[in-house]
Chain A
Amino acid sequence: MIMRYWYLLLSSWPRLLELMYWPVLQVITWGFLQTYIAQNANFFVRAGGTLIGAVILWDILFRGQLGFSISFLEEMWARNLGNLMMSPLKPIEFLLALMAMSLIRLAIGVIPMTLLALYLFHFNFYGLGLPLIAFFCNLIFTSWAVGIFVSGLVLRNGLGAESIVWTLMFALMPLACVYYPVQVLPHWLQYVSWSLPPTYVFEGMRALLIDHVFRADLMFFSLTINAALIVASFGAFLALLRSARVNGSLLGGGE
């Protein structure tokens, strides 16, 4: 299955370009904004890199989910899902292939983005060191959990539900406190925020860049919630797949 998506990527330069286009645009826009703020505010001089770091981490989260879901949608667009469902391919194998593809697509999109951030804004994303591994793993796990759930929705409801693929992650953006600390939120909303694994990552990143402290406790909480989310999303995917079989939507898959 990974080969199937790899062949597809290599056969289509717009698909490859699209992987890099938005991350590059994001890092340029936010990088210049941060440069402007840093020249005018002492706090941001001290917290140099938090904005651009947040942009890159957010893109890992968003692009990770998108990479997963787009590979899934390619099967819907190609009307190939029936072939796969009729083959000996197990749902878990299909999902594992989509996860691998999300990593490949992410690498194609985010690595040039980080190099650009280094070149233009002197922000060395890899300078975050080992904590970066914890940040990355937690974000990618969340992106897969959302991707699995959204793919199940599209499977059940057809391409009419396609827009969820593009929009659902943005609903997390304000709550996951990508660009500001959790304390900014109203007290009651902070509980919601702390129930989302990415919140711990973005808080952890700010702790690292501002206070120069790696908060392992935050990463542990994030990992625990992620584990529960992935199990729940896989269960939801199987339930939605069964519902699609009851409904007959695997035959059509249209609007």
Chain B
Amino acid sequence: MAQHEDSEGLRRAADPIGPAAIEVVHLVKQYKNTRAVDDISFRIARGSITGLLGGNGAGKTTTIAMIMGLVLPTSGRVEVLGHPMPEQSAHVLGRMNFESPYVDMPMRLTVRQNLSIFGRLYAVANLRERIAQLAHDLDLNDFIDRPNGKLSAGQKTRVALAKALINQPELLLLDEPTASLDPDTADWVRAHFETYRRTHEATILLASHNMFEVERLCDRVIILKRGRIEEDDTPDGIIARYSRATLEEVFLDVARGRAQDDPNGQSRVIPQEPPNERESRETVP
């Protein structure tokens, strides 16, 4: 939890009053009979790393998709970098980027061709130099002229990360960025996020099932359950409130509906979500 030792990081997490990178107000997404996101509101301070946690079907991906403008909310509003989405997405899309398991890079194109095309789409200046820089930073040089489809999972993740960083985004949205990676590669990727946030003062919103990753990277954690915000605090704050040693234990408490001690010495029981309801939300329509 190196970031938590950073007093500036703690201040940003505890005081999201400053200029918001993301502002979500009473956001609702209803898919036919399923309420994927149910009236959530939060502000994410610029320069912070926020973890969005929750079990499968909790509404993480839908929330991120609404922030990106890929999904329209049923009600509520989203502002990104001061602009309402998706109405003013043209002002914002060039300043943000994302990585998600729901998308791939074209498989037949080489890494260099892919980065070259996305660099042009994002109107990156000095593209050749930028690609060379990314290839160096992310260790892509050994396979930069190989088709994307012939890369290992770890190599593909690094290429996806290079695409996500090609425009040096102010806001980076990451959906399960280290899923299916071996521990060494995952650790390497996390270190890169930390470096990128520090060097670019970027804002990162991270959806993950990896609690270790969230504890390590995030200033703040928002836990979703059944489309609603269950917890919103620093990782240390949440861990302390649940009297647990790790965020993973807290996550299991929330997911399984175990009691949480509140500051008044009382406890409230979080009802356990029936598995069939959870499953029904796992499939994005």
Binding site for B on A (CB under 8 A): 1, 3-4, 7-8, 11-12, 74, 78-90, 242, 245-252
Name the A residues within 8 Å of B69 (CB-CB).
85-86, 245
B107 adjacent to chain A (CB < 8 Å):
yes
In the complex, residue of chain A having the shortest beta-carbon distance to the beta carbon of B94: A88
Contact B65 A248 (CB under 8 A): yes
CB-CB nearest 3 A-B residue pairs: A82-B103, A79-B104, A88-B94
Complex alpha-carbon distance, A248 and B285, angstroms: 6
Contact B284 A252 (CB under 8 A): yes
Question: Of A3, A4, A83, which is in contact with the most chain B CB atoms at under 10 Å from its CB?
Answer: A83
Contact A4 B285 (CB under 8 A): no
Name the A residues within 8 Å of B117 (CB-CB).
1, 3-4, 7
- B31 to chain A: closest CB distance in Å? 6
B200 adjacent to chain A (CB < 8 Å):
no
Name the A residues within 8 Å of B97 (CB-CB).
86
B179 adjacent to chain A (CB < 8 Å):
no
Contact A246 B100 (CB under 8 A): no
Complex alpha-carbon distance, A3 and B116, angstroms: 9
The one of A7, A78, A87, A248 that contacts B62, using a Cβ cutoff of 8 Å: A248
- Are A11 and B285 CB-contacts (below 8 A) given A86-B97, A88-B121, A245-B71? no
- B142 to chain A: closest CB distance in Å? 20
Name the A residues within 8 Å of B103 (CB-CB).
79-83
Name the B residues within 8 Å of A250 (CB-CB).
65, 70-71
Q: What 0/1 readout, one digit per residue, does chain B (26-62) give for beta carbons within 8 Å of chain A?
A: 0001010000000000000000000000000000011
Contact B71 A83 (CB under 8 A): no
Complex alpha-carbon distance, A242 and B86, angstroms: 11
- A63 to chain B: closest CB distance in Å? 21
Complex alpha-carbon distance, A11 and B29, angstroms: 41
Q: What 0/1 readout, one digit per residue, does chain B (243-283) give for beta carbons within 8 Å of chain A?
A: 00000000000000000000000000000000000000000
The one of B96, B107, B109, B285 that contacts A249, using a Cβ cutoff of 8 Å: B285
- A35 to chain B: closest CB distance in Å? 41
B163 adjacent to chain A (CB < 8 Å):
yes
Q: Sample 27 A-B pairs with CB under 8 A, ordered by A number.
A: A4-B109, A4-B113, A4-B117, A7-B108, A8-B106, A8-B108, A78-B104, A79-B102, A79-B104, A80-B104, A80-B106, A82-B100, A82-B102, A85-B69, A86-B69, A86-B98, A87-B121, A88-B90, A245-B69, A246-B71, A247-B31, A248-B62, A248-B284, A248-B285, A250-B71, A252-B102, A252-B284
- B264 to chain A: closest CB distance in Å? 40
- Are A248 and B31 CB-contacts (below 8 A) given A3-B117, A82-B70? yes
Contact B93 A86 (CB under 8 A): yes
- Are A86 and B70 CB-contacts (below 8 A) given A7-B113, A247-B285, A248-B62? yes
Name the B residues within 8 Å of A1 (CB-CB).
117, 121
The A-contacting residues of B in range 90-126, CB under 8 angstroms, are 90, 93-94, 96-98, 100, 102-110, 113, 116-118, 120-123
B207 adjacent to chain A (CB < 8 Å):
no
Complex alpha-carbon distance, A187 and B42, angstroms: 65
Complex alpha-carbon distance, A93 and B116, angstroms: 17
- Are A87 and B71 CB-contacts (below 8 A) given A8-B106, A81-B103, A252-B284? no
- A200 to chain B: closest CB distance in Å? 38
B84 adjacent to chain A (CB < 8 Å):
no
The one of A3, A12, A246, A251 that contacts B102, using a Cβ cutoff of 8 Å: A251
Name the B residues within 8 Å of A251 (CB-CB).
61, 65, 70-71, 102, 284
Contact A78 B106 (CB under 8 A): yes
Name the A residues within 8 Å of B96 (CB-CB).
86
- B221 to chain A: closest CB distance in Å? 24
B16 adjacent to chain A (CB < 8 Å):
no
Complex alpha-carbon distance, A89 and B70, angstroms: 13
In the complex, residue of chain B having the shortest beta-carbon distance to the beta carbon of A82: B103
In the complex, residue of chain A having the shortest beta-carbon distance to the beta carbon of B36: A248
Name the A residues within 8 Å of B86 (CB-CB).
245
Name the B residues within 8 Å of A242 (CB-CB).
72
Contact B147 A11 (CB under 8 A): yes
Question: Of A3, A74, A86, which is in contact with the most chain B CB atoms at under 10 Å from its CB?
Answer: A86
Name the A residues within 8 Å of B106 (CB-CB).
4, 8, 74, 78, 80
In the complex, residue of chain A having the shortest beta-carbon distance to the beta carbon of B120: A3
In the complex, residue of chain B having the shortest beta-carbon distance to the beta carbon of A242: B72
The A-contacting residues of B in range 137-194, CB under 8 angstroms, are 147, 163
